[in-house]
Amino acid sequence: MRTLHHPRLDEITVEGILYALSDPVRGRIFARLATSECAKNCSTFLNIQDSPLAKSTLSQHFRILREAGLIRSERRGVELINSTRCQELKERFGPMLQSIVEAYARQYRDEATNGAATGA
């Protein structure tokens, strides 16, 4: 099995973080991980959007988040268990990530409210 690459803190860039979080699915995954009390396996996120994601697509999203330095993945048997690196990243980037997570949470809440109000 291949070793998972986790960049060192000094290798993580703002551009890499913003690229990884520019995709709505990855934004949702990261926001959910960041607000979770414990690490989650990848399959927890198969239904993160209206239609189920293919496992290969989900793996790609997690790889991008991991290589951007946003999450840490650990193999446990056949599963990958994922957690955020928010504490480490806060030391380097200050409140940037927390602001992004809060912005995504507001956006999803507004979308859910507007969707419910219009019957969508």
For residue 90, what is the domain's CATH number? 1.10.10.10
Tell me whether residue 116 is in a domain.
no
At residue 51, the pLDDT reads 86
66-86: pLDDT as tens digits: 999 999 999 988 888 999 999
Domain membership of residue 4 (yes or no) is no
Question: How many domains is the chain built from?
Answer: 1
pLDDT at 74: 93
Q: Against a cut of 0.85, is the pTM above it?
A: yes
Residue 113 domain flag: no
Residue 92: pLDDT above 70? yes
What residue type is 115 in one-letter code? G
Is 52 among the domain residues?
yes
Per the domain annotation, does 25 fall within a domain? yes
Domain contains 83 = yes
pLDDT at res. 120: 54
DSSP state string for 41-69: EGGGGTTSSSSPPPHHHHHHHHHHHHHTT
Q: Is residue 117 part of a domain?
A: no
Tens of pLDDT along 4-51?
Answer: 889 999 999 999 999 999 999 999 999 989 988 899 988 888 888 888
User: What is residue 49's predicted lDDT score, i.e. its pLDDT?
Assistant: 83
Helix (H) / strand (E) containing 84: strand 79-84
Considering the domain boundaries, does residue 53 fall inside one? yes
Domain membership of residue 15 as a residue range = 9-107
